[in-house]
A and B are shown apart, each in its own frame.
Chain A
Amino acid sequence: MQEEGIDSQELSGSSEISRREVLVTLGVLGGAVAAGAAGWGLLEAMVALRQPVESWHKSVCRFCGTGCGVMVGMKDGRVVDVRGDELAHNKGVICIKGSMLPELVRIPGRLTYPKIRKNGSLVDASWDEAMALVASKFSESIREFGPDSVAFYGSGQLFTEESYTANKLFKAGIRTNNVDGNPRLCMASAASGYVQTFGKDEPPGCYADADYADCFFIFGANPYECHPPIFERIRQRKRLRPDTVIICVDPRRTMTAQHSDIHLAVVPGTDLLLLNSMANVICEEGLANQEFIGNHVRFSDGEKDCDFAKFREFLRAYAPEKVEAELGVSARDIRRVAFIFARSAATMSLWTMGANQRTQGTFLNNTLNSLHLITGQICRPGATPFSVTGQPNACGGVRDTGALSHSLPNGRLVANPEHRAQMEKLWKVPEGTISPRVGYDAVSLFRALEEGSVKAALILCTNPGTTMPAAGRYQSAMEKCFTVVADVVEDSETQRHAQVVLPAALWIEKEGVTGQGERRYQLTEKLLTPPGQARSDLQILVDLADRLGHGGLITARSPEAVWDEWRNISASSFYNFQGITYARLKKERGLQWPCPTPESPGTARRYVEGEDPFVAKGAGVEFYGNHDKKAVVYLRPYVPSPEKATAEFPIYLTTGRILEQFHTGTLTDRIQPLHDAGGPAMIHINPQDAFVLGIQDKDAVEVKSKYGTVRGEAKLSNATRVGAVFASFYDAKLLINRAVADNFDPTSKEPEYKVTAVSVRRVAT
């Protein structure tokens, strides 16, 4: 292009920029900027408008004891999304159940009005009518038969404030220790194991230990299905350090076993033989850490102290070659596993119900702890015995508050006069208020209902009609008592036997603290209004306290007020979490106790200098729960289960969870994708056993034990060991717990769900 005749300078005859030119240039520039700003503004508005989530709120998953931090996405007052919280301990990982939390608050069949049984049917009632009836029945029973004629049966799914208030109301108000709950069914053995070994309950380690362990000893646990974020963390460790060894001890070839390096399929009920045999190998082959033992360990036969030589002598009966036949694991594998356990740079044991729900549950827990103590695999990153818990608040809500029949807050015991006196002082009640009689544990309580010695029971947030062993027997027992149930859904097995049913708020419809498996307290804030007339369990308890004349005792009436009372009480114990305030919980991603001051970062590893505020400077490691500051290694003999297989009942029944369902399925089974995935619970049987019994896939079969009979559909599965059958307990239609034995551990009183001798046969449909 030629420039001839175009240049305005030539046309104007001037080389200077005119005023007009400046204005035009500025105008164009201004227009361009305005257009850009308008476009940007429009873009911001459009992006904002198209956001599927209006606001994100920090919360905690409602389901298992992993206690995953989640972010709840809200829009227009509804939950529209839930994601794993990347800043929480679970590092953003949740499972399929947690991912379905948006559906949880919309499940069908919510209980929205109180109901009273009239002429055999539950009919709607007002809160006042229902609570007046409950209070009059409780008062009448207490007046006529004494305080021990009433009971509270709670749950590891209540908020801490609720369990704490119930415990206080019944023990310091009504004056009965008949306070127990479903945690008795799942982790009582872990608690008694820790208390006996370390002098204090709750694990010494934390989930983060999985990031450092080189050997995972997974014993009687199936974290792939039951605690998926924990297993994902284990797999992540394996990905980053491929030499990491995962050992799984389980009669079944579970999904966890399938993803492990070594699977030891023990015969149900015999695994204390394995632990003692491993200890034998460790002691005989020079794998014990004598320095750690010398500094931090004491030996005991359960009655009196002894020494390492006595321990070694005791273990000679458990040499691998002596136990392999009964245990079902070769001596070679026992030696191999013992060596890896002892010699890995850091070994982390994880266990759940396979160890806890046993008549030798406490012994198994003791010995798991002992393996770590004799090898020094403890109090270092990655080296720890870790009992994984099943419910979101069994640890914080029940174990820590002492909401069990034998215990009082912060590890105190009902049977200890000093402990009772301490709590009477802290609760500001007259001396002698707390009964010295240990209350009924779960099985004993339901037997007391059956016998008629307990006349009225309040059941919150749990479904014993399905979860109790020998369930048929205890369902009938509930009918002999004035049973009050607060629940979130209609038609649970328990409600069928209740006289009054109260609608309870669920998850983010109320506020409170939960304490998950690694001593971490986390706050669930209220984001929704409960449906209909549903109330929080705390409101129900406060109302009952007022009506029973204990309003002066239960002065803390909001979740935060209860929490403040509780954290101040903790200051007088080794649990001390006075520094965990609501303000901090709202801001931080949970805190692990001990955490005595508002500045304390919490304690990831207990008994370790520099981490645990109770360990003296220069001590390094100090098991301060015991008088001599040493942990105790017990000599725990193997005793066969009372459910040893016989000619009449030649097969072992074990039960457990599946990935998609939590507990009795009252919540998860109402979420359609989880319901579809779980399907009806079936009787899993090894094809070899099925062949002998003439059973084919999907045949109707009968499982019969001394305790009851159930019928269901057979599923042939190589995951099930020969000589054993498995069924999950989420399905009320199968209700496998009717056939499960109600034997229990003499110390922890936890029933042995994992071992029941049964017969299995094909039946006509």
Chain B
Amino acid sequence: MNISYLQLVYLFGTIFCILGIVLCIRTARTRFGKLGDAPPVSLWITRLPAESAAKLTAFAALILMPAGAIFIANYHTFEGVHEVSGCASCHLMLPMANDLQDSNSGTLAARHFKNKWIAENQCYHCHSDYGFGGNLEAKMTGYRHLARYTTHTYKEPLMARVRFDNKNCLNCHQGTQKFEAVPSHHTAWARLVSNQMICLNCHGQAHPTSLQRTPGSPDYARLTEPLE
């Protein structure tokens, strides 16, 4: 069986969660007041008083394990979004992923994908602010999406509230001969680098429109098919 690196991370995170829950239950059932009479606890090469051992367990249960689980979950997410399938695991992202891989689509995402302008199979290439080193705004929005998604407090179509950072485009395009030859890029330069004007204004749709992503639209079923 072939287990990928990400699957290992996932497994590790799951173990952390289960262990955390077990330790939480143990901590909840501990009578700290009655630990004085209890015999010391053996920890391989040393023995700890029962009270200290219980406190250590509580620390692991309430702080260490949750922190570790959160870290691993975030790490898994940030690493996971390096692949389209990672993003598409949230079904709200399926329209973006399906469109991206549709060779008949003219959206910017599809054109970047089919012409291999982006690293293979990556949404992350143009959405790098969602990555580990991304900005605070993207992080906050991402966590908000997570909260909304897990609690089902969202409605389709999903509408982006954050301003897409032009740096995602300029990282590759800035300085190329083709980019520099367009007069409007120079006219709007100050506004482009400060994100006062989005590249999409002139270059059109990046993904399917909100109307296409609305349940009941003619394109909805096609766009939300599970990825192959």
Would you call A11 and B201 a contact (CB within 8 A)? Answer: no
- Chain B residues near A119 (CB-CB < 8 A): none
Bound CA–CA A43/B205 (angstroms): 29
Q: How far is the CB of B225 from chain A (nearest CB, A)?
A: 21
Q: Which of A290-313 contact B (CB under 8 A)?
A: none
Whether A660 sits at the interface, judged by CB under 8 Å, is yes
Q: Which of A100-123 contact B (CB under 8 A)?
A: 102
- Chain B residues near A83 (CB-CB < 8 A): 198, 200-201
Would you call A25 and B39 a contact (CB within 8 A)? Answer: no
Known A-B contacts A9-B29, A673-B187, A676-B187; the reply to A1 vs B41 at CB < 8 A is yes
Known A-B contacts A5-B40, A50-B140, A52-B163; the reply to A660 vs B201 at CB < 8 A is no
- Chain A residues near B111 (CB-CB < 8 A): 239
Whether A195 sits at the interface, judged by CB under 8 Å, is no
Comparing A85-93, A273-281, A344-352, A395-403, the segment that makes contact with chain B is A85-93
Whether B204 sits at the interface, judged by CB under 8 Å, is yes
Q: How far is the CB of B30 from chain A (nearest CB, A)?
A: 5
- Chain B residues near A1 (CB-CB < 8 A): 41, 43, 53
- Chain B residues near A46 (CB-CB < 8 A): 140
- Chain B residues near A676 (CB-CB < 8 A): 187
- Chain A residues near B104 (CB-CB < 8 A): 240
Determine which of B184, B190, B204, B209 lies in contact with A93 in the assembled complex, contact meaning CB atoms within 8 Å. Answer: B204
Bound CA–CA A648/B201 (angstroms): 48
Q: How far is the CB of B207 from chain A (nearest CB, A)?
A: 9
Would you call B201 and A93 a contact (CB within 8 A)? Answer: yes
Determine which of B140, B163, B205 lies in contact with A47 in the assembled complex, contact meaning CB atoms within 8 Å. Answer: B140
Bound CA–CA A220/B31 (angstroms): 90
Would you call B29 and A8 a contact (CB within 8 A)? Answer: yes
- Chain B residues near A616 (CB-CB < 8 A): none
Would you call B28 and A21 a contact (CB within 8 A)? Answer: yes
Q: For residue A1, which residue of chain B has the nearest CB?
A: B43
Q: How far is the CB of A147 from chain B (nearest CB, A)?
A: 48
Bound CA–CA A660/B187 (angstroms): 8
- Chain A residues near B39 (CB-CB < 8 A): 4-5
Bound CA–CA A102/B28 (angstroms): 59
Bound CA–CA A193/B30 (angstroms): 92
- Chain B residues near A9 (CB-CB < 8 A): 29
Q: How far is the CB of A319 from chain B (nearest CB, A)?
A: 40
Q: With a 10 A CB-CB cut-off, give which of B38, B40, B42, B201 has the most chain A CB atoms.
A: B201
Whether B143 sits at the interface, judged by CB under 8 Å, is yes
Would you call A677 and B187 a contact (CB within 8 A)? Answer: yes
Whether A693 sits at the interface, judged by CB under 8 Å, is no
Whether A126 sits at the interface, judged by CB under 8 Å, is no
Q: Mark B100-138, 1 if CB is under 8 A from A, else 0.
A: 000010100001000000000000000000000000010
Q: How far is the CB of A112 from chain B (nearest CB, A)?
A: 27
Known A-B contacts A240-B104, A659-B184; the reply to A51 vs B144 at CB < 8 A is no
Q: Which of B177-199 contact A (CB under 8 A)?
A: 183-184, 186-188, 190-191, 196-198
Would you call A28 and B209 a contact (CB within 8 A)? Answer: no
Would you call A6 and B28 a contact (CB within 8 A)? Answer: no
Bound CA–CA A24/B137 (angstroms): 37
Q: How far is the CB of B73 from chain A (nearest CB, A)?
A: 14
Whether B211 sits at the interface, judged by CB under 8 Å, is yes
Whether B50 sits at the interface, judged by CB under 8 Å, is yes
Would you call B204 and A5 a contact (CB within 8 A)? Answer: no
Q: How far is the CB of A537 from chain B (nearest CB, A)?
A: 29
Would you call B197 and A99 a contact (CB within 8 A)? Answer: yes
Would you call A4 and B41 a contact (CB within 8 A)? Answer: yes
Whether A204 sits at the interface, judged by CB under 8 Å, is no
Known A-B contacts A6-B54, A40-B147, A239-B111; the reply to A24 vs B41 at CB < 8 A is no
Whether A464 sits at the interface, judged by CB under 8 Å, is no
- Chain A residues near B147 (CB-CB < 8 A): 40, 43
Would you call B41 and A94 a contact (CB within 8 A)? Answer: no
Determine which of A6, A93, A95, A660 lies in contact with B53 in the assembled complex, contact meaning CB atoms within 8 Å. Answer: A6
Would you call B202 and A228 a contact (CB within 8 A)? Answer: yes
Known A-B contacts A6-B50, A28-B24, A86-B210; the reply to A44 vs B42 at CB < 8 A is no
Q: Which of A643-681 contact B (CB under 8 A)?
A: 659-660, 673-674, 676-677
Whether B34 sits at the interface, judged by CB under 8 Å, is yes
Would you call B190 and A96 a contact (CB within 8 A)? Answer: no
Whether A764 sits at the interface, judged by CB under 8 Å, is no
Would you call B144 and A91 a contact (CB within 8 A)? Answer: no
Would you call B50 and A47 a contact (CB within 8 A)? Answer: no
Would you call A44 and B106 a contact (CB within 8 A)? Answer: no
Known A-B contacts A91-B204, A240-B106; the reply to A674 vs B29 at CB < 8 A is no
Determine which of B50, B196, B203, B210 lies in contact with A5 in the assembled complex, contact meaning CB atoms within 8 Å. Answer: B50
Would you call A673 and B190 a contact (CB within 8 A)? Answer: yes
Q: Mark A13-41, 1 if CB is under 8 A from B, else 0.
A: 00001000100110010000000000010
Q: How far is the CB of B120 from chain A (nearest CB, A)?
A: 21
- Chain B residues near A87 (CB-CB < 8 A): 209-211
Q: For residue B25, which residue of chain A has the nearest CB?
A: A25
Bound CA–CA A239/B41 (angstroms): 72
Known A-B contacts A2-B42, A5-B40, A240-B104; the reply to A95 vs B140 at CB < 8 A is no
- Chain B residues near A84 (CB-CB < 8 A): 200-201, 204
Q: How far is the CB of A691 from chain B (nearest CB, A)?
A: 26
Bound CA–CA A7/B29 (angstroms): 8
Q: For residue B39, which residue of chain A has the nearest CB?
A: A5
Bound CA–CA A40/B196 (angstroms): 28
Q: How far is the CB of B82 from chain A (nearest CB, A)?
A: 24
Would you call B30 and A6 a contact (CB within 8 A)? Answer: yes
- Chain A residues near B54 (CB-CB < 8 A): 6
- Chain B residues near A24 (CB-CB < 8 A): 28
- Chain B residues near A93 (CB-CB < 8 A): 201-204
**29 A-B pairs (CB sep. < 8 Å):** A1-B43, A1-B53, A2-B43, A4-B41, A5-B41, A6-B30, A6-B41, A8-B30, A11-B35, A21-B28, A28-B28, A43-B144, A82-B201, A83-B198, A86-B210, A87-B211, A91-B205, A92-B209, A94-B201, A94-B202, A95-B201, A95-B202, A99-B191, A102-B196, A228-B202, A236-B204, A659-B184, A660-B187, A673-B188
Starting from the known contacts A5-B41, A83-B201, A95-B201, 17 additional A-B residue pairs (CB-CB under 8 Å) come to A2-B41, A4-B41, A5-B38, A6-B57, A8-B29, A11-B31, A21-B28, A21-B29, A25-B25, A40-B144, A47-B140, A83-B200, A93-B201, A99-B191, A232-B204, A240-B104, A673-B188
Chain A residues in the interface with B (C-beta under 8 A): 1-2, 4-9, 11-12, 17, 21, 24-25, 28, 40, 43-44, 46-47, 50-52, 81-84, 86-87, 91-96, 98-99, 102, 228, 232, 236, 239-240, 659-660, 673-674, 676-677
Chain B residues in the interface with A (C-beta under 8 A): 24-26, 28-31, 34-35, 38-43, 50, 53-54, 57, 104, 106, 111, 137, 140-141, 143-144, 147, 161, 163, 183-184, 186-188, 190-191, 196-198, 200-205, 209-211
Pairs of residues from A and B, 6 with the lowest C-beta to C-beta distance, nearest first: A677-B187, A5-B38, A96-B184, A5-B39, A8-B29, A2-B42
